[in-house]
Amino acid sequence: MTSRENLTFKVRLSRRAEGYLRCIDRNTQKRIAAAIENIRQNPIRGLHIRPLEGRESEYRYYLGNLRIVYTVHPGERLIDITSIGPRGDIYK
């Protein structure tokens, strides 16, 4: 295991996020996979990352019209992706 691998976080997808990924086209799946890899490398800071207001350790990653909402557990080096979906539907 390289030192870079030690710095990355593990990612866990919720059933809701997994369900969305199964329903979308292959190109969108690839874009989301690349976004999740970016989140794994640095889940708190980035061009497309914003903290959710009023929610500690919760963030959103925006990818065009899509949003990835997740919680960071720094002590466990774990990211829980709670939802993935279109901007208008994700916060409902």
pLDDT tens profile 13-62: 999 999 999 999 999 999 999 999 999 999 999 999 999 998 889 999 99
CATH for 3-90, among 3.40.50.300, 3.30.2310.20, 3.40.50.1010, 3.40.50.880? 3.30.2310.20
**pTM for this entry:** 0.89
State the Cα–Cα distance between residues 48 and 27, nearest whole angstrom: 19
Whether pLDDT at 92 is above 90: no
Report DSSP state, residue 52: P
Q: What sign for the dihedral angle of Cα 8, 13, 19, 22?
A: positive
Of 88 and 71, more confident: 71
- Ordered by start, the domain boundaries in the chain are 3-90
